[in-house]
């Protein structure tokens, strides 16, 4: 009761955590012995080992990673540097990366540079100062970016869902061309022969690759992709809506549309339906991204290409682990896309599918 004299005003600045010394003192041994006991090193009497172990968790001892890292020269941390966390692509990528790394007892620093070069530089410096074991760089789009400069360190850097021109860098990307081929072949296998493409701006590498992939698949079937069936515009639902109207007005033979994104596909589908076109009977539609909230909400539900970004992230994590272990094999790795078949192309086909519906991306919660 009353005022407690001499109570420090400032909170104890130092965390009063229990250290190996406390354990040693409590167990009546020296710190060396404690270390050996807890790490299963050296030859200790099983009795002592057990006694020490007991006092350790009685005291709630937790070895200080900072000290260990300093000693080992490895921090068991990795930096994840993203230019901009738009979300749609970053999230599955991030969780994939983090999945494999956390299995390796590695914690991930999340660094969002907001497309700001100076900010990115500061992040890299911080990561280097914290002696991360590696850095994964990612982005909102797959196009090339400048390499990250880690100075005179030999910290491994890996690029995921983005790439770098440096020949000694490792970049991991989805195989856009293959994804487009998959979609096109699916449409062809459903008897479609007059297929248009509605996609994003030409200056995206992914747009070009998907166009090439589609063209390639058509050519293999003796078909071509005429200019008037290629409509490029912004990555927006409204563009899909508009493009579909244009196609309906100009191309009476059209029997399928391959869209560069699910957003565009949604606009396309809405426009078609409103103009009385039956989907897929009259015109079939394929999307790209397998963005659950969109692909499952279109009427009919959207058949679409999945870039498997979660798996891509997992793979990136494992490759970084390998690099940390010393194995550096630079290059550009493109991982296959798969096709998720729903109802916008007709009856379910079992062909041309590498995988069927993937782990539900739609959490039925807010």
Task: Identify the three-state secondary structure at position 105.
Answer: coil
Phi/psi of residue 146, nearest 5 degrees: -65, 150
Q: Give CA torsion, residues 264, 267, 270, 275, to 10 deg.
A: -100
Contacted entry of DNA, a copy of itself, none for residue 202, CB cut-off 5 to 8 Å set by kind: none
- 165 touches a copy of itself by CB under 8 A: no
- 138 touches a copy of itself by CB under 8 A: no
Piece of 117-125, 163-171, 217-225, 275-283 that binds a copy of itself (CB under 8 A): 117-125
* Rounded CA separation 349/303 (Å): 11
Considering only residues 346 to 365 of the shown chain, the ones binding a copy of itself according to CB under 8 A are 363-365
Which residue's CB is nearer to DNA, number 173 or number 324? 324
**Minimal distance in Å, beta carbon 109 to a copy of itself?**
5
- 168 touches a copy of itself by CB under 8 A: no
- 13 touches a copy of itself by CB under 8 A: yes
H or E, element range at 50: helix 46-59
* Residue from 49, 55, 98, 286 binding a copy of itself (CB under 8 A): 98
**Beta carbons within 10 angstroms of residue 245's beta carbon:** 16
* Residue from 41, 50, 70, 226 binding a copy of itself (CB under 8 A): 70
Which residue's CB is nearer to a copy of itself, number 187 or number 259? 259
* Rounded CA separation 316/313 (Å): 5
Piece of 21-29, 34-42, 114-122, 330-338 that binds a copy of itself (CB under 8 A): 114-122
Q: Is 114 left (phi over 0), alpha (psi -120 to 50) or beta?
A: left
**Minimal distance in Å, beta carbon 237 to DNA?**
52
- 18 touches a copy of itself by CB under 8 A: yes
H or E, element range at 160: strand 157-160
* Rounded CA separation 255/248 (Å): 10
Q: Give CA torsion, residues 344, 350, 356, 357, to 10 deg.
A: 40
Q: Which residues bind DNA (CB under 7 A)?
A: 14, 17, 19-21, 28-33, 35-36, 38-39, 41-45, 47-49, 61-64, 67-68, 70-71, 73
Contacted entry of DNA, a copy of itself, none for residue 100, CB cut-off 5 to 8 Å set by kind: none
**Minimal distance in Å, beta carbon 33 to DNA?**
3
- 10 touches a copy of itself by CB under 8 A: yes
Paired with 174 in beta bridges are: 335
Which residue's CB is nearer to DNA, number 1 or number 71? 71
Contact in structure between 283 and 267 (CB atoms under 8 Å) = no
**Minimal distance in Å, beta carbon 58 to DNA?**
15
Which residue's CB is nearer to a copy of itself, number 188 or number 232? 232
Q: Which two tokens stand for residue 321?
A: 């682990």
Q: What is the DSSP letter of 84?
A: -
Q: Which two tokens stand for residue 104?
A: 């390796």
């Amino acid at each position: 009761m009353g005022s407690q004299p001499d109570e420090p005003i400032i909170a104890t600045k130092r965390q009063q955590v229990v250290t190996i010394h406390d354990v040693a003192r409590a167990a009546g041994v020296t710190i060396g012995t404690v270390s050996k006991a807890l790490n299963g090193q050296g030859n200790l009497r099983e009795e002592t080992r057990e006694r020490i172990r007991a006092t350790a968790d009685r005291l709630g001892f937790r070895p200080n990673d900072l000290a260990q890292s300093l000693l080992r020269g490895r921090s068991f941390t990795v930096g994840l540097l993203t230019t901009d966390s738009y979300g749609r692509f970053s999230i599955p990528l991030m969780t994939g990366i983090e999945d494999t790394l956390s299995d390796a007892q590695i914690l991930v620093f999340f660094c969002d540079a907001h497309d700001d070069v100076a900010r990115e530089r500061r992040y890299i410096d911080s990561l280097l100062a914290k002696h991360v074991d590696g850095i994964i760089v990612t982005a909102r789009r797959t196009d090339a970016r400048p390499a990250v400069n880690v100075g005179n360190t030999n910290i491994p850097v890996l690029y995921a869902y983005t790439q770098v021109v440096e020949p000694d860098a490792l970049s991991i990307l989805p195989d856009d061309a293959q994804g487009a081929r998959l979609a096109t072949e699916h449409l062809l296998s459903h008897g479609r022969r007059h297929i248009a493409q509605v996609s994003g701006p030409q200056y995206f590498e992914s747009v070009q690759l998907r166009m090439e992939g589609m063209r390639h698949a058509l050519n293999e079937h003796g078909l071509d992709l005429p200019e008037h069936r290629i409509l490029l515009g912004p990555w927006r639902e409204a563009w899909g809506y508009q493009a579909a109207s244009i196609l309906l007005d100009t191309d009476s033979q059209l029997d399928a549309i391959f869209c560069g994104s699910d957003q565009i596909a949604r606009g396309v589908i809405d426009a078609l339906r409103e103009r009385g076109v039956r989907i897929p009977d009259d015109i079939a539609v394929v999307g790209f991204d397998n963005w659950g909230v969109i692909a499952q909400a279109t009427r009919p539900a959207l058949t679409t290409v999945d870039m498997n970004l979660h798996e891509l992230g997992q793979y990136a994590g494992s490759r970084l682990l390998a690099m940390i272990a010393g194995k550096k094999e630079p290059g550009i790795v493109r991982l296959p896309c798969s096709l998720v078949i729903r109802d916008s192309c007709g009856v379910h086909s079992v062909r041309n599918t590498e995988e069927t519906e993937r782990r539900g991306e739609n959490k039925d919660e807010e």
